Chains A and B, each alone.
Chain A
């Protein structure tokens, strides 16, 4: 349905460039308007593929958390056991939600990254032999996800067309 988001953002961008910018005398303000226009351009390019990016991240995060479950189960201690319970609950809740709104998926993924965040110290090398293999695998699993997520983020910021 028109105007779609691209139409709206393009109109605001044209307004800034054709009407606002020529009437701005202060170079500082003019630069801010230029950056605002750059961000609108980014939003125009990012929005049509946002759902793909969110869905790819969501699938990868879920698969990573699933892969962590047997590793957490193999680790000694209450911290790993508590985290395992929370990961299990998170994955069950995500599965039960079915098709959710974009906001709901983003909120779930923030929660998932929070669980991953808490798993990181459990991969720390230790002189304790129990769970050594699980610790190493946990670290490798988390690292592999972080690398994939960082590459996805970097691909997204390429749309910004701005770097040093």
Chain B
């Protein structure tokens, strides 16, 4: 039975009448889950676009569909643009693996850095929304907004400690060979754990490539909330400001770092601590390397044959150079033979 027919059966059980699914297509990208676009109609409802996000057999990132579903549900109340989630299925009977369905939002997807060839007006509007949505996430009263199910770190170094432990654990679990660059990066992170007095909602994958936008640059949806948690807002700032996502001297290809920081400070009323920003740039780069190593492991152990996992794995060479530069280790000035 095809995935379309099985989806029709699942939806029919949920809406209580026969459902017709059409235009089902798998979307590329989204390497941590399988994403399908489809249209569905049933008696009493017009044909509408939906998105199915299903656990993959193996991926770059092992994440939890119910966590993402609950976060998306709560994020609607923040007034930030996110797709409306409709159905969550954690069993394996319907489509072999857990999945959820959300409403489809119109908009263009960009690569992981905003293309420099796009018009300046489009980039400027995207940049404006990019910062204001991030500020809304960080300003949010997360308890009142329904994020109470997330575990809040205590003020102090706990937010940084948790983040380092999480990604070091994933690195140690998934590496299939020694990786002294990542070992050195985690050593630096351990030695430089910052203290934080702010606990906010953290999106944890806030960058170009994870939003949809109109042709005028207006952002219509912020996607990929699967790693969202409570922590230090510098984690999102540092991740977005990683050299890996930059192009044309702009954060995520959108705006210079100084503007990014100034606009975020103005929109949140919070101050950016440069040392913490650097810490989270290092953490973000190490995290991306760890994510890539999970993909490499799945590829090398033949759990998947997706060529993009090999490409992301190869790009770890660039991340290695970037993380060493961020921690001031092994640069040509200090390391030339």
Contact = CB atoms under 8 A, between A and B. Distances in A.
The DSSP consensus for interface residues of chain A is helix
Contact of B244 (A145, A151, A153, A164): A164
Which of the four size classes fits the interface of chain A? 35 or more
Nearest to B310: A39
Nearest to A153: B317
Contacts of A150: 181, 317, 320-321, 324, 330
Contacts of A76: none
A147 B317 contact: no
A148 B331 CA distance: 8
B311 A113 contact: no
Contacts of B314: 42, 157, 160
Interface in A112-131: 113-114, 116-117, 120-121, 124-125
Contacts of A117: 178-180, 183
A39 B307 contact: yes
Given A147-B329, A160-B311, A164-B112, A142 B324 contact: no
Contact of A140 (B26, B178, B191, B334): B334
Contacts of A143: 184, 324, 329-330, 334-335
Given A116-B178, A117-B183, A154-B320, 19 more contacts: A26-B26, A28-B28, A32-B307, A35-B308, A35-B311, A39-B311, A42-B314, A110-B177, A117-B178, A120-B187, A143-B184, A144-B335, A146-B184, A147-B329, A147-B331, A148-B335, A151-B332, A157-B318, A160-B315
Interface of A: 26-28, 31-32, 35-36, 38-39, 42, 110, 113-114, 116-117, 120-121, 124-125, 140, 142-151, 153-154, 156-157, 160, 162-164
27 contacts: A32-B306, A35-B308, A38-B311, A39-B307, A113-B179, A114-B177, A116-B180, A120-B180, A143-B184, A143-B335, A144-B330, A144-B335, A144-B336, A145-B330, A146-B181, A146-B329, A146-B335, A147-B329, A147-B334, A148-B335, A149-B320, A157-B314, A157-B318, A160-B314, A162-B311, A163-B315, A164-B113
